DNA sequence: GTCTATAGTGTGATAGAC
DNA sequence: GTCTATCACACTATAGAC
């Protein structure tokens, strides 16, 4: 009985180890060449097993993608957590925004896998949500709430108009920064402005009044307060 | 001689017509199923020719993509030109920004082809620029300058700080809106906020002072002007 | 110019022997 | 659990006859 248990325990550990190894190699291939060029054959050769062996640990190629997305979201979340100690919510959002873009540019292929090639049909997405196995989306939502929380703090301090929902603001800021990363990653000739400058402009647009004495754009209608 | 010329002229026209037909069918397939599922076989079958015939009119599948991108940029530019008559530059930028997102959501597959799957290597891009045959990029730059012009007007009216370059602002705004479209097109579960709301928030962030009496975000540092 | 035929290469996934 | 062998496809692009 005792030895029996030990044996099955060993089996389980070996199994786990191989799964981990598959994931590890996959991660490296994706980082280097992108998920598109991660084929089951190539992967099998790299770990010195036959292609068929992979299907004992992952249901499909897409299943590996899911696992890698989960890893990616965890590491993005870590990048955010490094800034949670910043007290001022606007300053915190600035730091997290910068961290987000840095993450995307530092790990372009992982970022692509997470946010740019999830082209599943709408019904597949709904299916995954219903079954509750879209772990990446759950993680994404959790990370996003770090941002939403900061916006909620801004609102609590009356530094955000009442009509702006914190979650919507968080998603808006996220989308804006995603655009910068995405355009850079597609490698087109435009935009020619460096990403850091684009980030600066975007964050200033959102948080300028919190960072400087003059608003970024001066209204033509508003009375000039400097002549009082 | 006259009849000779007529004959070659007919040939040229037939040739042109077939090229146009190929493009037309390609456009429809891309609109319906996306460029990824536009195969030379499928295309050939649809126009009732052999696959080989296509290579007489287009160097490769990518060459067809280029032609379609050029078409897409032309139609995007048209959408922008419809708003050039708006006198106030901030209002014009608002209208063009909305038009941009509408274009992307209305023609998702064309948009994807134009801005989301141009994953050529950096050196290929440089090569194309050197040879001057990246017509899409040239068109893109031309369209972008419609936006940059409006920012330049804002600056001329002292409604934009001197340190903000109009072209950089244009690219920044573009990138921000692209992010909204791109996230919606990848069909992930997030963001759950509707695109129109995200656009509203983004444009408000950029142009709020021009549209309302109170700035969107209230600074904690700035003296409160309402207590004078 | 247009065709047929095919080369050449890749893919994800599975059946069945061991 | 792991293998070999293979199915069943799909693709771009070209050679060579007509």
Q: Do B187 and A120 touch (CB under 8 A)?
A: yes
- What residues of A are in contact with residue B93 (Cβ under 8 Å)? none
Please name the residue of chain A whose CA is at the shortest distance from the CA of residue B209. A219
User: What's the confidence (pLDDT) of residue A202?
Assistant: 97
Average pLDDT over residues B46-74: 92
Nearest-Cα residue of chain A relative to residue B34: A119
Tens of pLDDT along A24-55? 999 999 999 999 999 999 999 999 999 999 99
According to the model, what pLDDT value does residue A143 have? 97
Report whether pLDDT(B223) > 60.
no
Convert the pLDDT of each residue in B151-200 to its tens digit.
999 999 988 887 889 999 999 999 999 999 999 999 899 999 999 999 99
Chain A residues 34 to 73 with C-beta below 7 Å from nucleic strand C: 37-42, 50-52, 55, 60-62
Stronger pLDDT, B132 or B58, i.e. the higher one: B58
Chain A residue closest to B126 (CA)? A189
Nearest alpha carbon to residue B204 among A176, A226, A149, A95: A176
pLDDT higher than 70, residue A211: no
Question: Any CB–CB contact under 8 A between A182 and chain B?
Answer: yes
Looking at the complex, does the CB of residue B35 fall below 8 Å from at least one CB of chain A?
no
Residues lying close to strand D (Cβ under 7 A), chosen from 31-90 of chain A, are: 48-53, 56
Domains of chain B and CATH, by start: 1-58 (1.10.10.60), 68-212 (1.10.357.10)
Query: Does the pLDDT value for residue A222 go beyond 80?
Result: no
The span from the CA of A157 to the CA of A155, in Å, is 5
Residue A131 touches partner B, C-beta closer than 8 Å: no
Chain A positions touching B189 (Cβ under 8 A) are 125, 129, 134, 137, 140
Mean pLDDT rounded to a whole number for chain A: 88
Judged against a pLDDT cut of 50, whether residue B13 lies above it is answered with: yes
Query: Percent of chain B having pLDDT more than 90?
Result: 64
pLDDT, tens digit, 9 for 90 and up, residues A124-179? 777 777 777 788 889 999 999 999 999 999 999 988 887 889 999 999 999 999 99
pLDDT mean across residues, chain B: 87
Q: Note whether B191 contacts A205, CB cutoff 8 Å.
A: no
**pLDDT of amino acid B8:** 78
Comparing CB atoms, the residue among B189, B210, B225 nearest residue A137 is: B189
């Amino acid at each position: 009985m005792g030895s029996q248990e030990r044996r099955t325990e060993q089996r389980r550990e070996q199994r786990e180890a191989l799964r981990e190894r598959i994931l590890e190699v996959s991660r490296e291939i994706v980082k280097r060449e992108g998920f598109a060029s991660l084929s089951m054959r190539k992967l099998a050769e790299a770990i010195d097993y036959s292609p068929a062996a992979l299907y004992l640990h992952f249901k499909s190629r897409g299943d590996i993608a899911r696992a890698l997305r989960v890893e990616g979201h965890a590491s993005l979340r870590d990048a955010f957590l490094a800034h949670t100690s910043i007290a001022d919510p606007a300053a915190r959002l600035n730091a997290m925004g910068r961290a987000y873009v840095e993450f995307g540019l530092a790990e372009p292929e992982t970022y692509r896998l997470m946010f740019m090639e999830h082209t599943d049909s709408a019904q597949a997405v709904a299916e995954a949500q219903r079954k509750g196995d879209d772990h990446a989306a759950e993680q994404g939502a959790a990370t996003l709430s770090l941002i939403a929380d900061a916006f909620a703090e801004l609102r609590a301090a009356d530094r955000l108009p009442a009509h702006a929902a914190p979650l919507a603001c968080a998603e808006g800021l996220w989308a804006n920064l995603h655009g910068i990363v995405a355009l850079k990653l597609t490698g087109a000739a435009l935009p020619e402005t460096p990403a850091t400058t684009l980030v600066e402009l975007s964050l200033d647009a959102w948080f300028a009044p919190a960072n400087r004495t003059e608003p970024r754009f001066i209204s033509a209608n508003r009375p000039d307060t400097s002549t009082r």
